[in-house]
Amino acid sequence: MVKYLKYSIMLICGLIYCCSIQAQRELSPLTSKVVNWGVRVGINALDFIEVGAIQHDVELGNVSYTNKVGFTGGAFFRVNLSNFFMQPEVAYNYTQEKFSFGRLTEAGTSSLQTDVNVHYRTLSIPVVAGCNIVKQDHYLLSVYLGPDFRYSYRTSFDLESAHFVDKSPQYNINALIGFSLNVSHLFFDFRYEINRPDTDIHFADVANAPEFIKDISVKKNENILSFSCGFMF
């Protein structure tokens, strides 16, 4: 995760330098508009607070997880009122993670190491309220917070030789906080989403899950970290 942040910082510095030169040539600053709209694309990763696995009410050993980078993209519009704004969005999100744990054998010992890759596809509608800390013609630095209404429509699992999909709809509301930077029309966004405390996976509730894993539940608490860039007009 650290190397992705390093690459992101290098990319930001390069783009800010290029666009700061271009900003001097712009004729219509963003701060003169009542309504802005834009698009953004970027990367995301799950930030784990707690993770564990249970089988037959027994806590499994050798539990580990791996953060994997996903992606996000969406469109938004911003309604400005002095130094404050409202910003509804519509976004597509793809996140993924990997769990490893020692599954119990028939003798009750935890020795069968199992790896599970999970892929989530969701649609989200964040509605945030924010404040412009810096507001100078072609430059904006803003902070914001608000709810993120999420609809998860597909979760897929890769487990050893098995692949199965859960298409049952799931709804959730996250708390979102972040900040954005505008250099002319170029838009950078960094946000952190606080997920609901219980994001457990109960394989008994997943259709087409193999029988040998249906008695296992993954207990986890995770949040979402994302960085994106785009254009705002």
Query: If you write DSSP's letter for every residue of 156-192 in order, what string do you get?
Result: EEEETTEEEEE---EEEEEEEEEEEEEETTEEEEEEE
Read off the CATH number of the domain in which 132 is found: 2.40.160.20
Q: Which two tokens stand for residue 109?
A: 């010992």
- Note the pLDDT of residue 14: 56
- Note the pLDDT of residue 4: 47
- Residue 217 domain boundaries: 2-232
* Count of structural domains within the chain: 1
Distance CA 99, CA 61 (A): 12
Strand, coil or helix: 230? strand
Strand, coil or helix: 137? coil
**For every one of its 233 residues, what pLDDT tens digit does the chain have, with 9 covering 90 and above?**
444 445 555 555 555 555 444 444 443 566 678 999 999 999 999 888 778 888 888 888 788 888 899 999 999 999 999 899 999 999 999 999 998 888 887 665 556 788 999 999 999 999 999 999 998 878 899 999 999 999 999 999 998 778 999 998 989 999 999 999 999 899 999 999 998 766 889 999 888 888 888 889 998 888 999 999 999 98
Distance CA 159, CA 156 (A): 10
pLDDT in tens, 116-161: 999 999 999 999 999 999 988 788 999 999 999 999 999 999 987 7
DSSP structural state of residue 79: E
- Note the pLDDT of residue 186: 93
Please tell me the pTM assigned to this model.
0.82
